[in-house]
Amino acid sequence: FNHIVGYSLSGVEEKTAEISGGKWLPAYNDRMHQLKLNEMFTWKAWTITGSWHLGSGLPMINLSADNSSAEVERTDFFSQLDLALVRKFDSRHFSANAGISLLNIFNRKNIVEVNYLRFQSEDGSLTARSDISALGFTPLFFINFRFQ
């Protein structure tokens, strides 16, 4: 068994003079809490791995029409569980690894970044928000050969 556990607590703020009177607001990548758990078990030629990443939501800043005030909300929390099973094959002339990885097995829509676009014209302005999400459930099959 191999275990890796990591936790981070952080905060990121930024200030723009034209937005909310120059007040400090959470930055687009402000994910305050992150927990990562990784496990690997090897038995003979088999390896099983699991990785779980849990994080707090990213900030969404809702600006007033004249940019004088802002409300901060957060996206849903981030949670992704990945599993893999690998079999190793050895012979005199080559070695190979074959297996399957299952990414995001709970198929959550995990938002990894929130972007904002501002469109302005003589009639006014419009702000559009774009959420960039991680992959949904994705099975991967693989074979690696190595000749000796």
Q: 62-74, pLDDT tens digit by residue?
A: 777 666 667 888 8
22 contacts 14 by C-beta, under 8 angstroms: no
The residue type at 66: D
The residue type at 99: G
Per-residue pLDDT at 26 exceeds 90: no
For 84-124, the pLDDT digits (tens) are 999 999 998 999 999 999 999 999 999 888 877 777 777 77
The residue type at 94: F
21 contacts 33 by C-beta, under 8 angstroms: no
- Please give the mean pLDDT across all residues of the chain: 88
Which residues make beta-bridge pairs with 73? 60
Of residues 18 and 46, the one with the higher pLDDT is 46
